[in-house]
Amino acid sequence: MITTLALLAATVAAPTLPASSQTAPVAPAPVAASPVVASLDYDAAKALADRDEAAMSKIAADMLRRSQSGVLGRAADACRTDEAIKPFTVVLELDAKGNATGHWRNADTGLAKCMEDKLSRQMFYVPSKAPFYISFEVSFTP
């Protein structure tokens, strides 16, 4: 909301050039996907997540698990379903600020799709390197 208001205020306050000095608008250049992300499939992304998580110090791994627990709980609350529950994994690629820049899942259930969507939209951990891959392995026990 604040960002939108600031953008609107900046737009209103921008000076208008005379018609003779205005140029045609230039379309923004398309953002190219990272060549690594574009070529990754789920298995490759999961292998990178396993590698990155295994390389973490115990303190960093504990911090990651705590932050994963919170975001996973919020996503699970938002994705409640009556469908048959099956285990799945979601892998995220995080940038230096902790934003998900890539995401993969190994199941096509409604719950897996919803959880992937929710997990990939929430910033919850700022990694020590980028890109950083992490996985959420979700299983259910009675």
Give the tens place of pLDDT for each residue, 100-119.
999 999 999 999 999 999 99
pLDDT 10s digits, 29-68: 333 344 445 589 999 999 999 999 999 999 999 999 999 9
Eight-state DSSP code of residue 55: T
Count of domains observed in the chain: 1
Residues recorded for the chain = 142
Q: Does the pLDDT of residue 1 top 80, yes or no?
A: no
Q: Residue 60's domain spans which residues?
A: 39-138
CA-nearest of 95, 99, 105, 88 to 128 is 95
- For residue 61, the domain's CATH number is 3.30.1150
> How many other C-beta atoms are found inside a 10 Å radius of the C-beta of residue 4?
8
Q: Is residue 5 part of a domain?
A: no
Which has more confidence, 33 or 96? Answer: 96
Q: Is residue 6 part of a domain?
A: no
Q: Is residue 65 part of a domain?
A: yes
Q: Is residue 18 part of a domain?
A: no
Q: Is residue 10 part of a domain?
A: no
**Cα–Cα distance between 80 and 23 in angstroms, integer?**
51
